[in-house]
Amino acid sequence: MRFSKIVLTVLLASQSTPFAQTPSGSGLDPARLQTIRPQLQALVDKQTIPGAVALVARHGKVALLDAVGWRDIESKKPMQTDSIFQIMSMTKNFTGVAVMMLVEEGKVELRKPIEYYLPEFRGIRVEEKSINGPGAVYSPKHPPMVWQLMAHTSGLGGDPEGELADNPRSLRVPLSEAVRYYAHSHLEFEPGTRWSYSNMGIAALGRLIEVISGDNYVHFVRTRILEPLDMKDSFFFPPREKQDRIALVYKHADGRLVRAGDDILAGDAARYRVGAKYPAPEFGLYSTAGDLAKFYQMLLDGGEINGRRYLSRQSVETMTRVFTPDVIPSGWLGGTGYGLTFEIVNQPQGTLLLHSPGTFGHGGAFGTEGWIDPKNDLIRIILVQVSDGAGDAPRSVVMQIGEAAVQ
């Protein structure tokens, strides 16, 4: 039971001082792993990032869990290994797993149109954008299917416009109302012909979960995924007793780091989403490195961990195979394709050069990222909170060194 090993190691690591160890049997080179901390600290010293938490695990054992820098610069609160982060778009993986649970129960079919489950999408049309004004509007050859929303090939746009354009920031309306509005948007292209990252599509999947399960989205994810995995520091709306552990979000201004403020996506962490109604299935989850390791280990072990099955092995394999082989480009990073809410490495290059083909994972807008390598039985996680794109440098450190440490 690999899960018990991870729990033990993470519990030992939940302290204010940096923690790193290489348990016997991980098959990772400790000398290489020890180079991660000074490189991340150098990024803190240069004010590239305020702080970071890194985790590397192999064969179900946490080989490195370390924290550098600050979770709150102004108050001089150091980053801790159990600091809590807005993981942003990494949330999409949890929404995807929740959908696949309903698929396995026979309640959802991936190849059925989303309008079959959410009637508000009936009659949705395509609008070809034109630089000279409104483009042609027409009915698609087929309506967007559930799997296309998961693979970002549905044609739904990235973020809402018009009346609800600021909803992702204010979180002021319930999911049902937001998705009804999104359903009145035009598709940006014929479903299946292009890849375009769609937050609205994932939001619609969150609403699908509610309609089909008869449960609230947050409650479904919490009771079916977070609580069974003992992810005690993962939530959509921060409880008061854990707010001090949240790493604040920063941006760069005049060569230094300053608080990002409440105009960023999901708002300033100091607000703690008080009064929010929108759970944000596309970006709303808070979590820690230790909690994410539990979720990733479950996937790495084929959907089962600690004697409990969450998904079948076939479902995990389906989610983590490329669904966009003929859609170029697809994914955020070079050499990747897209599965069902997961980005998948198929031609390692760039910052993913040392990744094995078949490695899958996801990132978040503030610099959080996690990758699972089935070939090497390896998990790598880097958590940062910067709103203006400092994620490449810490990603390169943790992902490449973590892979190179495999013995």
The pair of structure tokens assigned to 82 is 């159990």
Model confidence pLDDT, tens digit, residues 63-83: 999 999 999 999 999 999 999
Residues 381 and 55: beta-carbon distance below 8 Å: yes
146, 95 Cβ separation under 8 angstroms: no
The superfamily CATH assigns to domain 2-83+291-404 is DD-peptidase/beta-lactamase superfamily (3.40.710.10)
Q: What is the pLDDT of residue 326?
A: 78
Q: Where is average pLDDT lowest: 121-125, 129-133, 373-377, 384-388?
A: 129-133
> Over the stretch 121-170, which tens digit does the pLDDT of each residue have?
999 999 987 777 677 899 999 999 999 999 999 999 888 776 666 666 66
Domain boundaries, the chain: 2-83+291-404
Mean pLDDT of the chain: 88
Question: Of 40-54, 151-165, 278-292, which gets the smallest average pLDDT?
Answer: 151-165
- pLDDT, tens digit, for every residue of 21-38? 555 678 999 999 999 999
Tokens 């394709």 sit on residue: 337
Question: For the residues 39-60, what does the mean pLDDT come to?
Answer: 96
Q: How confident is the model at residue 349 (pLDDT cuts 50, 70, 90)?
A: low
pLDDT attached to residue 4: 44
- pLDDT of residue 17 exceeding 70, the answer is no
pLDDT at residue 347, rounded to an integer: 77
Whole-angstrom distance, CA of residue 208 vs CA of residue 169: 22
In this prediction, residue 211 carries a pLDDT of 99
Cβ pair 269, 246 in contact under 8 A: yes
Instruction: State the Rg of the chain over Cα.
Output: 20
pLDDT of residue 138: 95
pLDDT of residue 356: 84
Query: What is the rounded distance in angstroms from the CA atom of residue 145 to the CA atom of residue 103?
Result: 13
Q: Which helix (H) or strand (E) holds 312?
A: none
Q: Please report how the helices 36-45 and 392-404 are oriented relative to each other, as an axis angle in degrees rounded to 10.
A: 170
Q: What is the pTM of this model?
A: 0.92
Backbone angles phi, psi at 52, to 5 degrees: -160, 155
Asked whether 340 and 319 are in contact (CB, 8 A), the reply is yes
Q: pLDDT tier at 346 (50, 70, 90 boundaries)?
A: confident
Helix segments in 214-321, DSSP class H: 217-221, 289-300, 313-319
Q: What is the mean pLDDT of residues 35-43?
A: 96
The number of CA neighbours under 13 Å toward the Cβ of 249 is 28
Q: What is the mean pLDDT of the segment spanning 289-305?
A: 98
Q: What is the mean pLDDT of residues 13-17?
A: 42
Confidence band of 189 (pLDDT split at 50, 70, 90): very high
pLDDT at residue 18 greater than cutoff 50: no
CA-CA-CA-CA dihedral for 271, 272, 278, 280, to nearest 10: 110
Least confident of 46-60, 250-264, 359-373: 250-264
